[in-house]
Chains A and B, each alone.
Chain A
Amino acid sequence: MSSQPEEAAPDLQVSDELIIKIKDMHKWYGSFHVLRDVNLDVYRGERIVICGPSGSGKSTLIRCINRLEEHQQGDIIVENVELTNDLKNIDAIRREVGMCFQHFNLFPHLTVLENCSLAPIWVKQVPRKEAEATAMKYLERVKIPEQADKFPGQLSGGQQQRVAIARSLCMNPKIMLFDEPTSALDPEMIKEVLDVMVELAKEGMTMLCVTHEMGFAKTVANRVIFMDGGQIIEENDPHEFFDNPQHERTKLFLSQILAH
């Protein structure tokens, strides 16, 4: 793949504390059955990479975890809170789960600093000064504090995605979801975003990442999940997954994605 993070993440400890539990989950878009009987346990500190062909339901799966999509059957339990129609539960889970999108979804009418401090101020009632200080801290971590007063439209794609990561981190989430964070970026910019994600993994963040960056999967993930047709086909640790895929479908996918 286009760019590998420079250094492999050290062996990170995964705790045995269950943080996300998905059990017998189904989802339909109208009459289209997108997710079929998905079961997934995620432990604190895990870095899970989800891959699969387009339309396999991988984005939908992680979007169900913070209720951007509603599941119709089965259970999703995040941090001991079950996702139901109860708005209180949804709000509680969204406070703990950060998300980065393929197209960044920064707020174009607000400056970078305002993008980052908005949710802490309005959702967590943090005083403005404090929220801005936190925002600056995370902007420094993603290495763009000097852009704080610019608007997103004035930044490059890679910078925008790093702002988006900082914006999520400002809410101090326990879990980060990444929905193809590098797919809309020029090759030159992919690395700067992946580096930030590697840093995040080193600090012990629980991460679920939909991506085609196999280099990232090899070095950072402790588990790779392959989905097709709305089902989890195969899951394994990265070495086994890439060197010794079990299913024909996985082999085909890997041969296609690694061929070029």
Chain B
Amino acid sequence: MSTERSHAVGEHPELPPPSTEVGIIGWVRHNLLSSTTNIVITVLTIYFLYIIVPPMLNWIFFDAVFSADSRDDCRAIAKAAGHEMGACWAFIGKRFEIFVYGFYPAEERWRINLSFILMLAALVPVLFDHVPYRKQALWFSLAAPFIIGWLLLGGMGLTPVPTDKFGGFMLTLVIGVTGIVGSLPIGIALALGRQSHMPALRMVCVAFIEFIRGVPLITLLFVASTMLNYFLPPGTTFDLLLRVLIMVTLFSAAYIAEVIRGGLQALPKGQIEAADSMGLKYWQSMRLIILPQALKISIPGIVNTFIGLYKDTTLVIIIGLFDPLGMGRASLADTKWQGLSTEIYVFVAIFFFVSCFSMARYSLYLEKKLYTGH
């Protein structure tokens, strides 16, 4: 054993790391070439990317036709340009308005555009902290759903538009955003109710959650579209879209409740004891201590449920509402554009991907923002 040192104890200077540990070389060595298996996987991945990516880019961009009047037209244009026919995006272009606005009367579509802008403006102060005049802005956010409802449905000075004219992306947003905004508070209430010390309240919550979770959403939508009429007194008309909104919200609320219950159970018992010992009342403890922490833990699960809900809005097609997917399928019946289903589905997929990916990124942002080193 040698105790020789190049420097006195405690005086060894800090040295820069070797080049194999940092920078591009370090990254490549650690992430791509760290073992034989890793090297094989890296090579295979590069090979697959080589096979898949160039043809995909050709189809989407280089060989695609962006304006034409029919499928045959598309093919002719591609042939004249001297390449295979890629995607015939002209089809989407021609159908774009119906994809966005559904069957909403053309002269009233500004109301949808305005509603969309209002929705974004209302979401900003809810989603982000550092917004100037956030307090006042939140009042606007509270009022926005009513203004948007009035804009979309009409009445009071605007031409009324029946909800069976709703369709396309606009319908997806209406159902998705209503479901998300409505199901979070209901889910929180159900989760707290399920943990209540009052047996009656607890049983009602458990029964509700288990019933809703135990039944497929499609069944609930059928119930919404047909069965409710049997239960309600004759003569009550209950708008189909409203029934769908209620069902989707309740459905998602049951899932949210269970996700939040997981978050509540993850909290150490000491948190509520500390709150109790300082004399905080039940609702104060919940609002100030328990829910902020439980919701933070539950963010991934909550957003997961929301993304699921958002995509499940496509199910409304089976009760006769036309969301983008339904709109796409309907468009395929057009003889002029037959055989272009890939374009339609890719287009709808991109729309859903952008929405869902934004939610996923926002949840990561939230998690980061709320991280307090605990």
Contacts and interface: CB of A to CB of B under 8 A. Distances in A.
A107 to B, nearest CB: 6
B267 to A, nearest CB: 10
A94 B288 contact: no
Interface string B250-289: 0000000000000000001011011011111100100011
Interface size on A, as a range, is: 20 to 34
Residue in A91, A101, A105, A106 with the greatest tally of chain B CB atoms within 10 Å: A105
A119 B268 contact: no
A1 interface: no
Interface string A94-108: 110111010101111
Contacts of B374: 108-109, 151-153
Contacts of A171: 278-279
A151 B373 contact: yes
Nearest to A122: B284
A119 B278 contact: yes
A101 to B, nearest CB: 6
A123 interface: yes
A123 B276 contact: no
Interface string A106-117: 111100000000
Nearest to B287: A122
Given A103-B268, A153-B372, A168-B278, 5 more contacts: A103-B270, A105-B271, A105-B273, A118-B280, A119-B278
Contacts of B268: 103, 105
B276 A68 contact: yes
A66 interface: yes
A154 B374 CA distance: 8
B276 A109 contact: no
Contacts of B271: 105, 107
B273 A101 contact: yes
Contacts of B278: 94, 98, 118-119, 123, 167-168, 171
A99 B277 contact: yes
Q: Which 6 A-B pairs have the closest CB atoms?
A: A153-B373, A108-B374, A153-B374, A105-B270, A105-B274, A119-B278
Contact of A119 (B280, B296, B370): B280
B26 interface: no
Interface string B283-310: 0100011001100100000000000000
A95 B278 CA distance: 7
DSSP class of A's interface residues: helix, strand, loop or mixed?
mixed
A151 B370 CA distance: 11
A122 B288 contact: yes
Nearest to A96: B279
Contacts of A154: 372-373
Interface string A72-98: 000000000000000000010011011
Given A109-B293, A152-B374, A153-B373, A95 B270 contact: no
Interface of B: 268, 270-271, 273-274, 276-281, 284, 288-289, 292-293, 296, 370, 372-374
B372 A109 contact: yes
Interface of A: 66-68, 91, 94-95, 97-99, 101, 103, 105-109, 118-119, 122-123, 151-154, 167-168, 171
Contact of B277 (A98, A106, A153): A98
Contacts of A122: 280, 284, 288
B372 A151 contact: yes
B292 A66 contact: no
Contacts of B274: 99, 101, 105-107
A122 B279 CA distance: 9
A109 to B, nearest CB: 5
Contact of A94 (B279, B289, B292): B279
Nearest to B296: A109
Given A107-B274, A109-B296, A123 B279 contact: yes
B288 A108 contact: no
Contacts of B273: 68, 101, 105
Contact of A109 (B270, B280, B284, B292): B292
B372 A108 contact: yes
Nearest to B289: A107
Contacts of A97: 277
A169 to B, nearest CB: 11
21 contacts: A66-B276, A68-B276, A94-B276, A94-B277, A95-B279, A98-B277, A98-B278, A99-B274, A101-B270, A101-B274, A107-B274, A107-B293, A109-B296, A118-B288, A119-B279, A122-B288, A123-B280, A123-B284, A153-B374, A154-B372, A168-B277
